[in-house]
Structure 1
Amino acid sequence: MVSRPGQLMRLPDWRARLAAEMDRQRRDPFAWGKADCALGLAAGAVKALTGADPCTSWRGSYKTAAGARRALHKRGFSTLADAVAAIAPEIHPDDADVGDIGVIESDGPMKQALCVVDAAGLIVITESGHGRRPREDMQRAFKVG
């Protein structure tokens, strides 16, 4: 990760950039290390909002669930939420706004997944592209810019 909590700043045109990024990745099927909840969905949203890619050093470091876990632990993190906390300040989920990053419980191998907050709830990544979850599913939240 490339910055410390609180250093990310939203660009003036962040709303248009976020909408374009979500449209771009909307139909990308899930792929570990490319179009997953971290390197695809969340990092794509952060880059759209701020112009900074928080996952540059992670790209190409894994292609499987086991590889993702190894990459996470190699960098000193126990959970996806710990990794996000290294770049963005944690806020109460009720205070999360459009573009902020959330954490939800998952049945997948990581046991949690990252999501992006939008006006209607949460955007998540699924096997076939973007999906939706209700905002109440968000367990933790992190302020992006």
Structure 2
Amino acid sequence: MSDRLPGWELRLAAAIDAARDQPFGWGVHDCAIWAFDLRRDLTGGDDVVALWRGRYRTARGAQRVMRRLGWSSLEAAGRDLLGDPLPSVHLAQRGDLVLADTGLGFGICLGARAAGIAPGKGPDDPGGLILVPMAACRLAWRV
């Protein structure tokens, strides 16, 4: 495990609580922004999200920004920013970053489940925090 700040568990719990009431928003409150901001808050690391925060407002815009940054996918972004993933997602621990193909995108391991931010499914669903089983995640990186 890399060096996490003292009290990281409380920071993780506070981030989950805060995300419960915040709707999804491309470029403001989406999977990558939330997960990488949380990684920064747990470790005191760099603000890599500054590369893309606020630079898009749609899924298509997010894809354009990723291409400009040299990433063909979320996986490519994860590998570039975080290095090689763990050999198995089953090795992920609470607070580690994960990548799922279930609409979650980037998220955070909470144990048996992962949390992340996903778009809603219609006009009455603004999206936001979702929980998925860790079995739905295909890659994980130690934080």
Q: What is the TM-score of this pair, normalised by structure 2? A: 0.83
CA root-mean-square deviation: 1.9
Output the amino acid matched with 2:134. Answer: R
Alignment pair present for 1:29 and 2:23: yes
Q: Distance in 2 between matches of 1:37 and 1:10?
A: 21
- SS of the residue corresponding to residue 24 of structure 2 reads coil
Distance apart, 1:49 and its partner CA: 0.8
Distance apart, 1:22 and its partner CA: 1.8
Q: Which runs of 5+ in 1 are unaligned?
A: 1-5
Q: Distance in 2 between matches of 1:18 and 1:33?
A: 21
- Greater shift, 119-128 or 91-100, is seen at 119-128
Instruction: Give CA deviations for 1:93-141 in whole Å, capped at 9, x if unaligned.
Output: 011011111111145xxxx711210024111223332111111101111
Counterpart of 2:136 in structure 1 is: 137
Counterpart of 1:45 in structure 2 is: 38
Alignment pair present for 1:74 and 2:68: yes
Contact 2:37–2:49 (8 Å) recurs in 1? no
Q: Which runs of 5+ in 2 are unaligned?
A: 121-126
Contact 1:26–1:130 (8 Å) recurs in 2? yes
**Given the alignment, which residue of 94, 114, 129 partners 1:122?**
114
Output the amino acid matched with 2:140. Answer: A
- SS of the residue corresponding to residue 82 of structure 1 reads helix
Identity %: 33
Alignment pair present for 1:88 and 2:79: no
Instruction: Give CA deviations for 1:57-102 in whole Å, capped at 9, x if unaligned.
Output: 2112111111100010111111112112222241020110111111
Distance apart, 1:44 and its partner CA: 2.7
Q: What is the TM-score of this pair, normalised by structure 1? A: 0.82
Change in Cα spacing, 1:122 to 1:133, as seen in structure 2 (3 Å) is: same
Distance apart, 1:142 and its partner CA: 1.1
Distance apart, 1:23 and its partner CA: 1.4
